[in-house]
Amino acid sequence: MNLINHTGIALRGGLYVVTGEDFFAARSYREVVSACIEGGAGIIQLREKNWPASRIFEVGREVREITHKSGVLLIINDRVDLALALEADGVHIGQEDIPLRAVRKLAGSKLIIGVSVGTPEQALEAERSGADYIGVGPIFPTETKKDARFPRGLQILTQIRQAVSLPIYAIGGVKLHNVASVIRAGADGVAVVSAVVGAADITDAARNFVAEIDRAKTIIH
C-alpha cells in the first residue's frame, strides 16, 4: 500500500516505532530515536501518556530535529495542538480522543492523521472521516500498554484489509518471530514499542524488523 494522504506524503508501511521512556534503560531520547532511524524505522511516534505538555514539547523539539534531518516522519500521540506547535508530520488518535473530523478541521492538510481501530466498522468510519492510516490492534497479547484490550488476532487484519484501502499498521505484541504473519494477514507495516526501543541493540533490532517485513512483502508479491 502506497497512498498519497491529505498532506501529500506517501505512506509505504514498514517499521513504525512508538516511543516509551520506561523501556529505554536509561538511554536518552536522542540516542534511542537516532538508533531506531539508523536501523531503518520510517516513522517515529512520540508517545508519553504521563508527561506534561511542556515536557512533550521540549523533547519533541529535539526529536523533530532528528527526524527532519533524517527524512523520517514524526507523529505525536493524541495531542493535535502539540503536533501543530512542533510542526510534526502527524498526530495519532484513539477511539476515545477528539473525534477525527474535529482533528481534521484543526489540522487541515498540515498533518497526517492516524487512528487506532479494532473493528472493520471503526476502520470504515476512520476512512470516511479522513484518516490517512489506521493502527489495528492489539493483535497479540501485550504488556506494553497496560489498558490494552483483548488480543484481536490475525483474522481482524484480514477483515479490515478487505474493508478499507487505507495503509494498515499492526500493533500489539508484534515481535520478530511473528511480524511476517501480520504482513501476510494484510498489514502494510508494524508499530512496535519494547521490541525495538527496549532492545539491547536498538539499531540491530530495528534492522531485523525491516528485513523481515521486506522479506514477507517479497513473498506476498
Residues assigned a catalytic role: 47, 116, 145
CA gap 145, 143 in Å, rounded: 6
Exposed/middle/buried for residue 49 (C-beta within 10 Å: 0-12, 13-18, 19+): exposed
Q: What whole-number distance in Å separates Cα of residue 160 and Cα of residue 54?
A: 37
CB-based contacts of 115-122 (< 8 A; 24+ apart in sequence): 116/92, 116/171, 117/160, 118/149, 118/152, 118/156, 119/156, 119/160, 120/156, 120/159, 120/160, 120/162, 120/163, 120/164, 122/95
User: Distance between CA atoms of 90 and 196, rounded to whole angstroms?
Assistant: 21
Other residues' Cβ atoms within 10 Å of the Cβ of residue 61: 12
**Closest to 138 in 3D by CA, of 88, 85, 193, 97:** 193
Three cell numbers written together for 13: 508501511
